[in-house]
């Protein structure tokens, strides 16, 4: 299974943009890049996913490097509610519905 | 839609007891799965189902049984609880098993085995 590498923790100030990096140098051509987050004492929550092109939705943006070996989750204006563990997950076709979680990045947001 | 619901929210068992964690979804999703999360760790897949009547093992299946008699329900059975099964259990569902689909998670069941 292709692995991802994320920083253990990051800090941000409220109302500032946050860039959460993820390295996935062994990604295969058909692997999707997914991001989930887990707020304290809650189940994981889908954030965004992409294959090759950058993606935007109401929660965040996903910037994918041209060689696809890294990606960045962008929260445009962090709020206190965005404090969570963010998981970058590669999903391969043969894995079907499986999500393989790593350690993730714990994001703290300062007022 | 209620989404994915799990009961109970909390449970304490004694070693050797059995119990069933309930999971239900009202989104007509084909794919359902169970994960466990130990302190400070990411989630690990226990069992999954790609449709009613079809189940398969995940990464850590030992000590757990599942069945899928309806599309809506996917209960997880602990046959003989052990302290090593103390964890938070999350159920998830997805429209289909594809690797491009979003998954929806329930709020979790916190289980303690004494």
A35-88 tens-digit pLDDT: 999 999 999 999 999 999 999 999 999 999 999 999 999 999 999 999 999 999
Query: Edge-to-edge strand order for the sheet containing A70-75?
Result: A18-23, A70-75, A61-64, A55-56
Residues of chain B with Cβ-Cβ distance to A100 below 8 Å are 45
Q: What is the 3 state secondary structure string of A15-35?
A: CCCEEEEEECCCCCCCCEEEE
Which pLDDT value is given to residue B5?
Answer: 97
Q: What SS3 class is residue A81?
A: helix
Instruction: Indicate if the pLDDT at residue A1 is higher than 70.
Output: no
Tell if the CB–CB gap between B58 and A103 is shorter than 8 Å.
Answer: no
Which pLDDT value is given to residue B110?
Answer: 97
Query: What whole-number distance in Å separates Cα of residue A85 and Cα of residue A100?
Result: 15
CA-angle at A16, arms to A10 and A19, nearest 5°: 45
Which among B46, B17, B7, B19 is positioned nearest to B114, based on CA atoms? Answer: B17
A46 touches A36 (CB < 8 A):
yes
Instruction: Indicate if the pLDDT at residue A99 is higher than 90.
Output: no
Instruction: Indicate if the pLDDT at residue A28 is higher than 80.
Output: yes
Mean pLDDT value across chain A: 93
Residue of B nearest to A48 (CA): B102
Residue A46 has its nearest CB partner, among B31, B96, B103, at B103
Which pLDDT value is given to residue A68?
Answer: 95
Which pLDDT value is given to residue B2?
Answer: 82
Q: Pick from A97, A98, A100 the residue to mutate for testing the B interface (most B CBs within 10 Å).
A: A97
* pLDDT tens per residue across span A76-86: 999 999 999 99
Which pLDDT value is given to residue A2?
Answer: 62
Low-confidence ranges of chain B (pLDDT < 50): none
Which pLDDT value is given to residue A18?
Answer: 97
A87 touches B44 (CB < 8 A):
no
């Amino acid at each position: 299974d292709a692995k991802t590498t994320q920083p253990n923790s990051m800090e941000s100030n409220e109302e500032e943009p946050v860039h959460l990096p993820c390295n996935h140098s062994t990604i295969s051509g058909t692997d999707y890049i997914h991001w989930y987050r887990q707020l304290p004492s809650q189940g994981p929550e889908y954030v965004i996913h992409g294959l090759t092109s950058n993606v935007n939705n109401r929660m965040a943006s996903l910037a994918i490097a041209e060689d696809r070996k890294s990606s960045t989750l962008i929260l445009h204006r962090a709020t206190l509610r965005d404090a969570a563990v963010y998981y970058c997950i590669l999903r391969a076709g043969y894995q079907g519905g499986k999500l393989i979680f790593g350690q993730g990045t714990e994001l703290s947001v300062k007022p | 839609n209620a989404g994915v619901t799990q009961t109970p929210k909390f449970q304490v068992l004694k070693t050797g007891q059995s119990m069933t964690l309930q999971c239900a979804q009202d989104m007509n999703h084909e794919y359902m799965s169970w994960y466990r999360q130990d302190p400070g760790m990411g989630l690990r897949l226990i069992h999954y189902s790609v449709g009613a009547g079809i189940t398969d093992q995940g990464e850590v299946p030992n000590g757990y049984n599942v069945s899928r008699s309806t599309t809506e329900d996917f209960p997880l059975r602990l046959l003989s609880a052990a302290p090593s099964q103390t964890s938070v259990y999350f159920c998830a569902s997805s429209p289909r098993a594809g690797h491009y689909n979003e998954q929806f998670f329930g709020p979790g069941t916190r289980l303690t085995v004494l």
